[in-house]
Structure 1
């Protein structure tokens, strides 16, 4: 495991509130090849469908979380300020549908139509 990936995993375990969305995206770009992939988040009537190439930040984070067996809390930390400020700061908001749906259903309800990330 490289230094940047180790640093991120350390932060997710010990100081998750210090994790930045941009940091996560940089680590993913450094260590994985990304392919835009359709994915769904949630279940039944409470599901967000994301076409390939849309919501790529969420796609990368959810794929990274699955590949690295992250907990739901660690996965949310990967969204950085979008989760901590935009969602937690406005619990009744309607923005960031993927984060809000994920909070209700967790990683087990995120499904991909293919491999969004492949280790380099």
Structure 2
């Protein structure tokens, strides 16, 4: 996990979404949780069991006090290609809302990640 966090800080462009999820799953037990992303009329409500990748990444990033840029890097090519190269699209709304509202817009019903016992 320390290697991933180091790479997020030093070479965020090398991060792959799948490897982030793999690392999270290795070190944490996940319980699906509802969460919201955004503010006001632009709040995206994610019901329990939906957008579980985003749920894992936002919880992991919050736990490790990652910056907004480091958090976005966790989404890999979904962020770098799908979102940044297509700014007018309406896919990946959790990423797009996080870009706009950052951490103030993220709220979980419960913490979805619990550190696995050694």
Per the TM superposition, whether the score is higher than 0.5 is yes
Pick one of 47, 55, 62 that aligns with 2:58. 62
TM-score normalised by length of structure 2: 0.97
Q: Does 1:29 align with 2:25?
A: yes
Residue 39 of structure 2 is matched in structure 1 by: 43
> What RMSD over aligned residues (CA atoms) do the two structures have, in Å?
0.5
Match of 2:112 in 1: 116
Unaligned runs of 5+ in 1: none
Distance in structure 1 (CA, Å) of the matches to 2:71 and 2:103: 8
Aligned residues, how many? 116
Cα distance in 2, alignment partners of residues 103 and 61 from structure 1: 14
Deviation at 1:52, TM superposition (A): 0.6
Q: Matches of 2:22 and 2:5 in 1, distance apart?
A: 13
Structure 2: gaps spanning 5 or more residues: none
Q: CA deviation at 1:109?
A: 1.5
